[in-house]
Amino acid sequence: MFFKDLEVKDISDMPILSLAYIGDAVYELYVREHLFAKGNFLPNALHLNTVKKVNAASQKASLVKIIPLLDEHEINYVHRGRNAKSKSKPKNADAADHNHATSLEALIGYLYVSKKYERLDYLLGIMLED
């Protein structure tokens, strides 16, 4: 069984850090696809450019970019993600950036699990605009 076949009854009952976990993977895959589609075919260049976009500081900047576009329900997931208490400590980021990155990942996870793919694509497109 794959996720697309999964029926989720009530996403609001899911642990927010689980949504952030899925959101992290979705975000990184989207960044990789975006860079690949722009003609970045060399693996080392792909990796270096991905790392520039998939880090706490960049994710915080992406969140700031889309906040005005979010509806009340989406903002709720952002707040829940930012307030989540993770047992892991960020390795290469300050705590505030890490909290904002987690909130962005929670939002992305929520949209993905909710199968709101058009909305997700729209917001991710804005985040990755040059």
Catalytic residues: 24
Sign for the pseudo-dihedral over CA of 125, 126, 128, 130: positive
| Phi-psi sector, 115: left (phi>0), alpha (psi -120 to 50), beta | left
Cα–Cα distance between 33 and 27 in angstroms, integer?
10
